[in-house]
Structure formats: C-alpha cells, structure tokens
Amino acid sequence: MTNTIIPRTADPDNSTLLGDASDSLRELFERTLREAMELELGQHVGAGRYERSGERLDHRNGTRHRRFDTRLGSLDLEVPRLRDGNYMPSFLEHRTRSERALIALVQEAVIGGVSTRKIAKIVAELGITSLSKSQVSEFCTELDELARAFRERPLSGNYPYLFLDAVFEKMRIGRTIVSQACVIAYGVREDGVRELIGLDIVDTESEASWATFLRGLCDRGLTGVKLAITDAHGGLIKAVQTVLVGASWQRCKVHFTRNVTAHAPEAYKKKLAGDLQGIFSQPTAEAALVAYESLRAKYLHACGKAMQILEDGLSDTLTFMAFPREHWSRVSSTNPIERINREIRRRTRVVGIFPSVASALRLIGMLLLEQTEDWHAGKRYMSEASMDELYARAASA
C-alpha cells in the first residue's frame, strides 16, 4: 500500500482550508492512523498489545516521531518501535529520498546526452516520458542540499570506533569517464549508536586524499577515536597514524585471512583458512599467539610464504582483543562498512556511469542519510554496559 494522500501545496496553517471542522477531522484522521498502525504492528509481531502468544516474533519498544504531510496539515505521528526489528507503516513512503535521487540522476544522464539502451530501459520502467532541464535542475537542487547538509553536519560527542573504506564508481568528468573513489567513514558513538559520518569523492586512495578526508572529519568535530578499523591500504594506514594520533589500528581479519591463504598452495587453502579462524576465536591475545605458533609449525614447510605474511601482520590483526569482548565480532573486521558498500553497489549498478560527481554524491549521500536514520530509530549497536567497560579500561590504562 502506498501513500495516496496529496501533500499540501498552500495555506500552511490550514486556516482557510477546512474552517472550524479542521481540528475534529485531524483528530479523527490521527486516531484512524494510530489504529491502522496498531493493526499492522500486531500482524507484524504475531501478537496484539499485552497479548501472550507462542507465535510472537518481536516485542514493542516505545515509539519514534515521524512527520506526515497531508491535506489536513502536518501530523506528528508516534510510530511504534520494535525491540529487534524495524517497522514502517504501509501508508508512509519509506526511503523516498533515495528513490528520488535515483530518478534524478537518470534524468540528468538522459539530458546530458549520456543515455544508453540500459538507461533508456530504466527511464521507461520509471515511467518518465518527458523531461526539461529546468525541471531536473529544480528537482536535483533540493536533493543536493539535503546530501550536502548531511555530509557537512557538525559531529558532537566521541566516536571511539571508526571504520574507513572506499568503493569505486565510474563517473563522467568533462568528456572523460573515470573511476573515482567514494571514501566513507562509519562511526560508533560513545553511547553505542552507529552513524555514517563522512562521504567524499576523490581521484584515488592516496595518503594525501585520506588525510584530507580525516582532517575534514576532525574539523567537523570528530574526537575520541580509540580504534580505527580498515584494510591494509598503505596510504590509509599512514593517514590514520598522522591524523588520528593516539588511536590504535585494527587490520581487517577477513582481508588478512584472504591475503594469507592467497599465498598458500591450492591444496591447503581451505584447511588453512579454517585454522586461521581458530586463532581469532581464542579468548585472549596470549591464547591466540599460542594457537598461532601451533598453526605455524603445522604449515611452515608447505606454506612458507603464507606463514611469513601471517607472522608480519598478525599483531595488527589481533588489536581488537585489547577492547571489550562484547565488541570483538563488530570491530575485528571491516564487515560492517562492507555491508554498506554492497548496498551502494546494488543501487548504483543500474546506473553504470554517473553523469557527474554531484549525481554520485546525491544518490550515495541519500543512502547513507537514510541508513543512519534507520540506525537512530533502532536499538543500540553496542550496549551501554559494554561502552562503560571500554571507557573504564581506558581510564585504568
């Protein structure tokens, strides 16, 4: 079910729209929407309010405010929240900004003369039959401002965990099509809530570009980084060490495992990969080193090059063990930000080539904005108790 209520176009206070009946109609409409949400939510969780049921799938967990613009004015709805999952009423349009961004960049591509049969097919599927430059310009301006405000918003509080990665997209710059790096920062705040806090597009993943990106985050208020989680890109590592002075570095254990096994003979790859996980699953760093010595003795003769790579990079890959154990699965790899990258690629794959850098920032910015809003509406990524433990450790160090 989609939202079929036409938004207001005039008379913001509705004083001449509905006369004296407006308040009564608004109250009736709000009550109807509340009842609709309660009915939907009961079906979603498998049980009504206060109902005991063996088929229950989730539990209610308070509400969040969501504005809903209608002919009766802007309604402030209290949308129910769930303990484990997400709920969005069927009458509210979800993720409309990113969909509008996708439509806008396709429109821009067509007007810019870079359309292909693939783009033409997408346009047809979207139902776009006629376009004008002024319409596209007005449409994109609003989205560009939203994306810019999100990218440049001030950051407050500490972000003890910072994930950094890049995803490459093809863009048209002038008359040339080039691959550009979309660098992304993903932070976990001191209260355990996660946010996507940075996005930029650079020519290449160099130390200079990463350092400029990180300094921009610091200028916006990024502080308190205790652990930066990245892959082993040399320029990125140097930038972290230069800009985030005092922060530890965690090398992604997933990328590291792939790097080690890539240098092993084919007959040993699968078994070695499984044994490497035995190192990372140990309860302490000391136990992990014992497991490493055992593994090294087992594979040294047959996988000498792989064992050398393992020895050289192991300490950087075990950094996570100095942090609260509850956080280990979340901070030992770049998997959290990789999931964001996969979502970006899924949405940009249909585009192929962005018609401009601005169109890429528009679409990707909207995706990151909406993902951050979803996280804010959900439960904490890391518990309050575990964050207290993190800072207690730091205080005693």
Q: Which pTM was predicted? A: 0.72
Which pLDDT does position 277 carry in this prediction?
96
Which pLDDT does position 95 carry in this prediction?
56
Which pLDDT does position 6 carry in this prediction?
36
Does the structure show a pLDDT above 90 at 202?
yes
**Exposed/middle/buried for residue 171 (C-beta within 10 Å: 0-12, 13-18, 19+):** buried
With cut-offs at 50, 70 and 90, classify the pLDDT of residue 1.
Answer: very low
Does the structure show a pLDDT above 90 at 77?
no
Which pLDDT does position 111 carry in this prediction?
46
With cut-offs at 50, 70 and 90, classify the pLDDT of residue 14.
Answer: very low
Which pLDDT does position 351 carry in this prediction?
77
Q: How many CB atoms lie within 10 A of CB 145?
A: 11
* Mean pLDDT, rounded, of the chain: 83
Contacts of 165 (CB under 8 A, 6+ apart): 183, 184, 186, 230, 231, 334, 337, 338, 341
pLDDT digits (tens, 9 = 90+) for 232-269: 999 999 999 999 999 999 999 999 999 999 999 999 99
More confident residue, 135 or 191: 191
Question: Which of 130-134, 189-193, 282-286 has the lowest average pLDDT?
Answer: 130-134
Q: How many CB atoms lie within 10 A of CB 115?
A: 15
More confident residue, 191 or 102: 191
Give the up-direction half-sphere exposure of residue 375: CA atoms within 13 A in the CB hemisphere. 22
More confident residue, 123 or 163: 163
Does the structure show a pLDDT above 60 at 187?
yes
Does the structure show a pLDDT above 60 at 319?
yes
More confident residue, 397 or 380: 380
Which pLDDT does position 19 carry in this prediction?
43
Which pLDDT does position 244 carry in this prediction?
97
Which pLDDT does position 221 carry in this prediction?
97
With cut-offs at 50, 70 and 90, classify the pLDDT of residue 17.
Answer: very low
Question: Which of 87-96, 151-160, 218-227 has the lowest average pLDDT?
Answer: 87-96
Does the structure show a pLDDT above 90 at 32?
no
pLDDT digits (tens, 9 = 90+) for 217-238: 999 999 999 999 999 999 999 9
**Mean pLDDT score, 80-87:** 82
The set of long-range contacts for 27-31, using a CB threshold of 8 Å and a minimum separation of 24, is 29/70, 29/72, 29/75, 30/75, 30/77
Annotated domain spans of the chain: 1-93, 253-333
With cut-offs at 50, 70 and 90, classify the pLDDT of residue 69.
Answer: low
Contact criterion met (CB below 8 Å) for 182 and 204: no
pLDDT digits (tens, 9 = 90+) for 284-312: 999 999 999 999 999 999 999 999 999 99
Which pLDDT does position 242 carry in this prediction?
97
Among 262, 298, 249, smallest CA distance to 278 is for: 298
CA-CA distance, 317 to 333, in Å (whole number)? Answer: 9
pLDDT digits (tens, 9 = 90+) for 357-376: 988 898 899 889 989 998 99
CA-CA distance, 250 to 334, in Å (whole number)? Answer: 9
Q: Which of 48-52, 83-87, 302-306 has the highest mean pLDDT?
A: 302-306
